[in-house]
Amino acid sequence: MLKHFLKMIQRIQSIFLLIAAALYGLGSFLVPDWDFGKKELWLLYNENYLSIWYLIMAALSLGVIFIFKNRSLQLRLIRITIFLSLVLLGFFVYWFLNLPGEASFSELLSKKGIGVIIPLVSIVFLRMAYRAIKRDDDLVKSVDRIR
């Protein structure tokens, strides 16, 4: 069991996925809640649906690490996580456009929280993990063709 765990950690895609999971976990603490009915920003951290959304994506990113023997499932789960991140980014764009009276980008980030940037950074790490897993899969397939 320890041998498989050490083998799993040696792979660069595991590091990328771990970073993405850590960013999503951190994002669940850094995103404030938004009330669309009153058009106000609530600063109620960890008590909103966005925090749960971030934690689901963190669990997906972390779970992908532990299914290292099934590369095709890993690739599908990474694509799902990237899609969920893009949906979250779309929500943030809608969120940005509906906050009245914003003057500058720095004011926007101070009111919205730095957690809104996390999906962008996480997508980069997920994409790098995807490419590394795809490279491993292509290598295994090419070796199988030789045999």
> How far apart (Å, rounded) are the C-alpha atoms in residues 42 and 88?
18
Residue 145 inside a domain? The answer is: no
The domain tally of the chain equals 1
Residue 119 inside a domain? The answer is: yes
Residue 22 inside a domain? The answer is: yes
Residue 134 inside a domain? The answer is: yes
Over the stretch 57-66, which tens digit does the pLDDT of each residue have?
Answer: 999 999 998 8
pTM of the model: 0.77
Over the stretch 82-138, which tens digit does the pLDDT of each residue have?
Answer: 999 999 888 777 777 766 655 455 655 555 566 678 888 999 999 999 999 999 888
Nearest residue to 64 via CA among 124, 22, 13, 12? 13
pLDDT for 46 equals 41
Task: Give the helix, strand, coil percentages of the chain, each rounded to 5.
Answer: 75, 5, 20
Residue 18 inside a domain? The answer is: yes
Residue 35 inside a domain? The answer is: yes
Q: Which domain holds residue 112?
A: 12-140
Residue 128 inside a domain? The answer is: yes
User: Highest-confidence range of 27-31, 51-55, 74-78, by mean pLDDT?
Assistant: 74-78
> How far apart (Å, rounded) are the C-alpha atoms in residues 31 and 13?
27
Residue 64 inside a domain? The answer is: yes
User: 146 is written with which tokens?
Assistant: 């030789």
